[in-house]
């Protein structure tokens, strides 16, 4: 498995879109923006009974998530062929909310 890391944190706050249906986690999009250009992003979404991850860097992937966790300020994702960490640049209130939101992700067994 390859291990990917996003760009180093620069203390700019990430842009986040988060969607729920009732108490079901549907979609999360996080982007790092510099001078109005997206320089890195990650998308986590539910499609039927599985969650997928989409990343564009270092190469485009769309894969089924096997394991996902939010440890401190880092999203850790394992798929069948990749494993990577995505460091978040968010304030403590947003981070606390994301920790609660991640508890709603139910991966198939």
Q: Is residue 107 part of a domain?
A: no
pTM of the model: 0.82
Q: Is residue 108 part of a domain?
A: no
Residue 2 has pLDDT above 80, yes or no: no
- 3-state SS, the chain, equals CEEEECCCCCCCCCEEEEEEECCEEEEEEEEEEECCEEEEEEEEEEECCEEEEEECCCCCEEEEEEEEEEECCEEEEEECCEEEEEECCCCHHHHHHHHHHHCCCCCCC
| Percent of the chain's residues with pLDDT above 90 | 52
Mean pLDDT in residue range 32-58 = 88
Given pLDDT bands bounded at 50, 70 and 90, which one contains residue 6? low
Mean pLDDT in residue range 55-59 = 80
Please count the structural domains in the chain: 1
User: How confident is the model over 86-95, as pLDDT tens digits?
Assistant: 999 998 999 9
Domain of residue 19 covers 2-102
Residue 10 has pLDDT above 60, yes or no: no
């Amino acid at each position: 498995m390859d291990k990917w890391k996003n760009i180093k944190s620069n203390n700019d706050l990430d842009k986040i879109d988060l969607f729920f249906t009732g108490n079901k986690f549907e979609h999360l999009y996080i982007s790092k923006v510099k001078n109005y250009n997206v320089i890195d992003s990650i998308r986590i979404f539910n499609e039927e009974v599985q969650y997928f991850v989409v990343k564009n860097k270092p190469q485009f992937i769309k894969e089924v998530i096997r394991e996902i966790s939010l440890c401190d300020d880092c999203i850790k994702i394992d798929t069948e062929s990749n494993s990577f960490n995505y460091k978040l640049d968010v304030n403590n209130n947003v981070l606390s909310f994301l920790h609660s939101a991640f508890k709603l992700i139910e991966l198939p067994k």
